[in-house]
Amino acid sequence: MAAILPILSIILGFLSFQALAVPAPFLPRDVSPALPNQRSLQNEIGRSLSKRAALYFPGQAEYKNLTTRWAENINPNFFATVEVGTAEDVATTVKFARKYNIDFLAINRAHGTTKTLSTVKNGIQINLRQLQEITVAPDGKTAKLGGGVYNDNVVNALHAKGKSSGSGAAGCVGLMGAGLGGGYGRYEGFYGLVLDNIIDMNVVMADGTKKFVSAKSNPDLYWAMRGAGHNFGIVTRLTYKIHDEISPIWALTTMIFKQDKVEPVFNQLNKLIANGTMPARVINYALFAFNPNISTTDPVITVNIFYVGSAQDAKPYVKPFLDLKPVSTQNFVTSYPNIFYAAGTGLNDFVCHEPIGSAYLYPMGLQTYNVPVMAQLFQLYADKVKSNPNFSGSNVMLEGYSLGAVKAVDPASTAFAHRDDNILVGFLPRWTTGTNLSSEAEEWASKARTLVQSGTNGRPLSAYVNYAHGDEPLEAIYGYEPWRLERLRKLKKRYDPDFKFRFYNPIQ
């Protein structure tokens, strides 16, 4: 996972719906007739779906393909998958599920990162992978995107037109799955988060109706969908801001350091990040990893410096790290679509393989690195991967994006609550499925997050919703200002009174 960028998405556990302590107004209403079997499902819903749609059931090869997840221990339970071909197919499936009081969950690329996904029981998967529209408007300022697009195909399609926009940093991750919760990425210094580029959305609601959502049409829903969107609807199509490409080339320098350089590296990262004022063309991404090509006994820290432009122009930002004498250095100059592969996060790279094993993810946002605490964190990481080789594929991800365009947006204008975070940290324990290490992984990651939190001078935990483990306070995910959760709860009661969208860090 050297040079692995945020990814994703990962992780769950085994909570039942009742364990979520849902308040009475949000409890699902048990008014369903008898559950349908496969034959009745085919007869009742199959005839209503478009010609492009398909139904799959356990035992079929395509069912297994569509229900395979990035992390194998994340296991929403489905008795059927509907591969939709149109927005109407989504609406039809939602209405059918409501009729029989069946759980339903929309899936694109299956990189969800919260253990609450495991509360889906005997449900219907609504698979969006066919909704792949990418149409650039004649004026070159917007694009129509289907709800099933993902970073790799969007980036390549826009690049072919000399355009770019906000996107995630791993090619395999769905654009809207990330965008509904925020959507960090390498271009955000110029364009903001993925959600900052959404102009309007076509959304299927919890009752199966369809709504057009924009700043003028259903503006309260437009606010909520951008930052807490998994709680309110299924996006089938959107209009997206696009821009002339900033540079035809990108530069990347990847440097690897041993443990004796951890504190100097973090001191230099703090200087580069400069309390959230890092230049728009610069991105940094660091990673704790076990790399047997460097050492078969000790983990290392990898530092990646991306630059939107030439390697020559990147030198002032790279040189301070080179002066720390890394044990390995690699340089790349390539196009933006290919930077995914240079960074090891391309569609065909290991990090995008499915499944990748079992994994959890624990996030936290920081404003600056507490250098002594980060040295302690590295030691905690080293002790674990050295004492238990089953965790040798684990990482600590340290993402530093340029934030000018993110911080330029009024924090109150969207439901996204983390614009004052300058660094995104992800604790990623990973192990071989079947080795019964879930509890140990959770204990380790929780200890790591608590350690780093101790060095924030009392700043409350900030947990990015797309990385949230599912055990964080809702305030940590959706914001500590009382008005935020108050507004979200009112909108939840209005648009999803039966609590149908309850499987992704639900607002309660």
| Helix pair angle (371-387, 438-453), 10° resolution | 170
Average pLDDT over residues 159-170: 96
* Contact criterion met (CB below 8 Å) for 293 and 307: no
On average, the pLDDT of the chain sits at 92
Cα gap 171→309, rounded to integer Å: 20
Q: How confident is the model at residue 38 (pLDDT cuts 50, 70, 90)?
A: confident
Cα gap 265→11, rounded to integer Å: 29
HSE of 6, CA atoms in CB hemisphere, 13 A? 30
Say yes or no to pLDDT of 1 above 70: no
List pLDDT tens digits, range 189-240: 999 999 999 999 999 999 999 999 999 999 999 999 999 999 999 999 999 9
What local confidence, expressed as pLDDT, does residue 113 receive?
Answer: 75
Cα gap 96→143, rounded to integer Å: 32
Average pLDDT over residues 29-40: 64
The residue behind tokens 């320098």 is 253
Cα gap 49→89, rounded to integer Å: 5
Say yes or no to pLDDT of 313 above 90: yes
Q: Which two tokens stand for residue 333?
A: 């100059």
Cα Rg of the chain (Å, integer): 22
What local confidence, expressed as pLDDT, does residue 34 receive?
Answer: 65
List pLDDT tens digits, range 431-472: 998 889 999 999 999 999 999 999 999 999 999 999 999 999
Q: How confident is the model at residue 37 (pLDDT cuts 50, 70, 90)?
A: confident
| Helix pair angle (262-273, 311-322), 10° resolution | 140
The residue behind tokens 């965008």 is 179
pTM, 2 dp: 0.92
Percent of the chain with pLDDT over 90: 89
The residue behind tokens 């990748």 is 356
Say yes or no to pLDDT of 506 above 50: yes
Cα gap 353→346, rounded to integer Å: 10
Expressed in angstroms, the distance from the first to the final Cα of the chain is: 36
3-state SS, residue 225: helix
Cis peptide bond N-terminal to 299, omega within 30: no
HSE of 186, CA atoms in CB hemisphere, 13 A? 33
Percent of the chain with pLDDT over 70: 93
Q: How confident is the model at residue 40 (pLDDT cuts 50, 70, 90)?
A: confident
* Contact criterion met (CB below 8 Å) for 55 and 45: yes
The residue behind tokens 């995914």 is 340
List pLDDT tens digits, range 48-107: 999 999 999 999 999 999 999 999 999 999 999 999 999 999 999 999 999 999 999 999
